[in-house]
Amino acid sequence: MVPGGGPSLDGTRWIACRPGFFLPVRVLSRLFRRLFLQNLQDAFDAGKLRFFGKLAGMAEPTAFATALDQLRRVEWVVYAKPPFGGPEQVLAYLGRYTLASPSPTAGWSRSLTARSASPGKTIAKRARPN
């Protein structure tokens, strides 16, 4: 989720984006590519990635760096669309992925439900018990 705007350069006020617009898709694509590949590199450097089978050679730093360089040269396409419904629906959608797995907060997540704009219409089922 992203806010519909951002702080001014001097940080004194909020500047809202034009209605229906936040970032050009090309800018968003390049930002996502850079951040994704940086996080992938960080995970590699921390020893959090494992490679098996045909990809076993990627465990070598030079092979991994070569693969990332190739990915940096490709234009990525980020699919961006407005949220479906409203904030409640977005949170309900994300909640199915973040609250349905066992976690320290699983106890309180069982009681969470999200409702649509129509009173009484539940759009997300309660999280399953552990």
All structural domains of the chain with their residue ranges = 5-73, 83-130
Cα torsion 66, 68, 74, 78 to 10°: value is: 170
Distance CA 64, CA 48 (A): 13
pTM of the model: 0.50
| Confidence band for 103, pLDDT divided at 50, 70 and 90 | very low
Q: What is the pLDDT of residue 87?
A: 74
Q: Are 109 and 103 in contact (CB under 8 A)?
A: yes
Residue 41: Cβ-neighbour burial (10 angstroms; 0-12, 13-18, 19+): middle
Residue type, 63: A
Digit-coded pLDDT (tens) for 108-129 = 333 334 433 444 444 444 444 4
Q: What angle do CA 77, 79, 82 make, to 5 degrees?
A: 150
- Main-chain phi, psi angles of 122, to 5 degrees: -80, 130
Cα torsion 86, 91, 93, 95 to 10°: value is: -170
What's the mean pLDDT when you consider all of the chain? 74
- Main-chain phi, psi angles of 6, to 5 degrees: -170, 170
